[in-house]
Amino acid sequence: MMQYALKVAITAALVVAISEVGKRSTIWGAILASLPLTSLLAFVWMRLDHAPAEQIAKLSTSIFWLVLPSLLLFLLLPLLLRSGAGFFVSLVASCAATAGAYWLMTLALAKFGAKLL
């Protein structure tokens, strides 16, 4: 149980640090947020839990393919905000569009025989 608490604490500390840095400097906040810290932490946690290298490799490959549709959020959110849509409307619409893009990506990958995990 202590191991899970430590994982949560470290992961939460990183998210809070990124948001705090982002308040002071958008460029440094963006640099930190764009780093694949969550993925890196997941790989480390899996390895420390004795996950086989192949499982970590499969996760890494799946993340690669799913990063592509996630970019839609970062294009759509600022467009909606700048067009005058409210923050939460913009956020929900961007998340919904991103979810749709994930779905389309998984369909496309399946059509070409790629397997996500």
Mean pLDDT, rounded, for 26-32: 85
Q: Three-state SS for 83?
A: coil
> Could you tell me the maximum CA-CA distance found in the chain, to the nearest angstrom?
49
Q: What is the pLDDT of residues 40-90, one digit of tens each?
A: 989 999 999 999 999 999 999 988 988 999 999 999 999 999 999 999 999
pTM recorded for the entire structure: 0.72
Task: With CA atoms as reference, report the closest residue to 76 among 86, 88, 90, 89.
Answer: 90
H runs (alpha helix) in the chain: 2-24, 26-34, 37-48, 53-82, 87-111
Q: How far apart are CA 44 and CA 18, in angstroms?
A: 19
Band (104; pLDDT cuts 50, 70, 90) = very high
